Structure 1
Amino acid sequence: MSRTAQSVWNNCLEFIKDNIQPQAYKTWFEPIVAVKLTDNALSIQVPSKFFYEWLEEHYVKILKVSLTKELGEKAKLVYIIKMENTYGNKQPFTEKIPSSNRSAVKSQEVDIPLNNKNPELRNPFIIPGIRNVKIESQLNPNYSFENFLEGDSNRLARSAGLAVASKPGGTSFNPLLIFGGVGLGKTHLAHAIGVDIKDKYPEKTVLYISAEKFTQQYIDSVKKNNRNDFIHFYQIIDVLIIDDVQFLSGKTGTQDVFFHIFNHLHQNGKQVILTSDKAPVDMQDIEQRLLSRFKWGLSAELQTPDFETRVSILKNKLYRDGVEMPDDIVEYVAKNIKTNVRELEGAIISLIAQSSFNKKEITIDLARVIVEKFVKNTKREVSIDYIQKVVSDYFQMDIETLQSKTRKRHIVQARQLAMFFAKKFTKASLASIGSQIGKRDHATVLHACKTVDNLTSTDKQFKKYVEDITKKLSV
Structure 2
Amino acid sequence: MKVNSANDLWHRCLRVIRDNVSETTFSTWFLPIVPLNYENNVFTVQVPSQFFYEYIEETFVDLLRMTIHREIGEGTRLMYRVLVDRTSGTSTTIPSDDKLKPNQLYNAPKQENPFARKEVIPNIDPQLNPIYNFNTFVEGTSNKLARTAGISIGNNPGTTIFNPLFVYGQSGVGKTHLVHAIGIQAKQTHPDKRVLYVSANLFQIQYTDAVRNNTVNDFLNFYQSIDVLILDDIHEFAGKNGTQNTFFHIFNHLHQNGKQLILTSDRSPMVLQGLEQRLITRFKWGLSAEISKPDFELRKGILKHKIFKDGLDIDDEVVNYIAENVTDNIRDLEGVIISLLAYSTLTDKPIDLELAHKAVSNVVNVTPKVVTIEQIRNVVCEHFGLKIEEMLSKRRNRELAQARQIAMYLAKCHTKHSLSSIGEMIGKRDHATVLHACKVVNDLMEIDKQYRACIQEIQNKIKA
Q: TM-score, normalised by structure 1?
A: 0.62
User: What is the Cα deviation at residue 348 of structure 1?
Assistant: 1.3
Whichever residue aligns with residue 36 of structure 2, its letter is: L
User: What is the Cα deviation at residue 228 of structure 1?
Assistant: 1.0
Residue 97 of structure 1: aligned partner: 95
Cα 1:38–1:289 change in 2 (3 A) is: closer
Structure 2 SS opposite 1:80: strand
Backbone CA RMSD of aligned residues: 3.9
User: What is the Cα deviation at residue 370 of structure 1?
Assistant: 1.5
Tell me which of 132, 136, 139 is aligned to 2:125: 136
Cα 1:299–1:53 change in 2 (3 A) is: closer
* Distance across 2 between alignment mates of 1:51 and 1:119: 20
Do structure 1's residue 226 and structure 2's residue 235 form an aligned pair?
no
Cα 1:373–1:232 change in 2 (3 A) is: same
User: What is the Cα deviation at residue 37 of structure 1?
Assistant: 2.1
* Distance across 2 between alignment mates of 1:11 and 1:231: 28
Do structure 1's residue 258 and structure 2's residue 247 form an aligned pair?
yes
User: What is the Cα deviation at residue 375 of structure 1?
Assistant: 1.3
User: What is the Cα deviation at residue 175 of structure 1?
Assistant: 0.9
Cα 1:117–1:235 change in 2 (3 A) is: farther
Asked if 2 retains the 8 angstrom alpha-carbon contact of 1:121 and 1:229, the reply is: no
Cα 1:318–1:24 change in 2 (3 A) is: farther
Do structure 1's residue 294 and structure 2's residue 293 form an aligned pair?
no
Unpaired runs of at least 5, structure 1:
68-75, 83-92, 101-110, 127-131, 379-475
Residue 123 of structure 1: aligned partner: 114
Tell me which of 178, 181, 195 is aligned to 1:189: 178
User: What is the Cα deviation at residue 293 of structure 1?
Assistant: 0.8
Do structure 1's residue 48 and structure 2's residue 57 form an aligned pair?
yes
Structure 2 SS opposite 1:328: helix
Whichever residue aligns with residue 80 of structure 2, its letter is: I
Number of equivalences: 336
Cα 1:53–1:96 change in 2 (3 A) is: farther
Asked if 1 retains the 8 angstrom alpha-carbon contact of 2:268 and 2:288, the reply is: yes
Do structure 1's residue 329 and structure 2's residue 314 form an aligned pair?
no
* Distance across 1 between alignment mates of 2:203 and 2:58: 23
User: What is the Cα deviation at residue 327 of structure 1?
Assistant: 1.0
Give the structure with higher Rg (CA): 2
Residue 203 of structure 2: aligned partner: 214
Residue 187 of structure 2: aligned partner: 198
User: What is the Cα deviation at residue 121 of structure 1?
Assistant: 7.2
Do structure 1's residue 37 and structure 2's residue 46 form an aligned pair?
no
User: What is the Cα deviation at residue 99 of structure 1?
Assistant: 9.0
Residues 168-194 of structure 1: CA deviation (Å, up to 9, x unaligned): 111111111111011101111111111
Asked if 2 retains the 8 angstrom alpha-carbon contact of 1:95 and 1:112, the reply is: no
* Distance across 1 between alignment mates of 2:312 and 2:38: 82
Do structure 1's residue 342 and structure 2's residue 341 form an aligned pair?
no
Structure 1 SS opposite 2:187: helix
Cα 1:348–1:290 change in 2 (3 A) is: same
* Distance across 2 between alignment mates of 1:351 and 1:95: 74
* Distance across 2 between alignment mates of 1:81 and 1:327: 77
Cα 1:96–1:251 change in 2 (3 A) is: same
Residues 242-272 of structure 1: CA deviation (Å, up to 9, x unaligned): 1110100001011111111111111111111
Asked if 2 retains the 8 angstrom alpha-carbon contact of 1:96 and 1:112, the reply is: no
Whichever residue aligns with residue 44 of structure 2, its letter is: S
User: What is the Cα deviation at residue 323 of structure 1?
Assistant: 1.1
Whichever residue aligns with residue 184 of structure 2, its letter is: V
Asked if 2 retains the 8 angstrom alpha-carbon contact of 1:121 and 1:232, the reply is: no
Tell me which of 6, 14, 21 is aligned to 1:8: 6
Residues 283-313 of structure 1: CA deviation (Å, up to 9, x unaligned): 1110111111111111110001111111000
Whichever residue aligns with residue 140 of structure 2, its letter is: G
Structure 2 SS opposite 1:168: coil
User: What is the Cα deviation at residue 97 of structure 1?
Assistant: 1.4
Asked if 2 retains the 8 angstrom alpha-carbon contact of 1:78 and 1:97, the reply is: yes
Asked if 2 retains the 8 angstrom alpha-carbon contact of 1:94 and 1:112, the reply is: no
Cα 1:95–1:266 change in 2 (3 A) is: farther
Structure 2 SS opposite 1:178: strand
Residues 387-425 of structure 1: CA deviation (Å, up to 9, x unaligned): xxxxxxxxxxxxxxxxxxxxxxxxxxxxxxxxxxxxxxx
Cα 1:272–1:365 change in 2 (3 A) is: same
Residue 176 of structure 1: aligned partner: 165
Asked if 1 retains the 8 angstrom alpha-carbon contact of 2:235 and 2:265, the reply is: yes
Task: Report sequence identity in percent.
Answer: 43
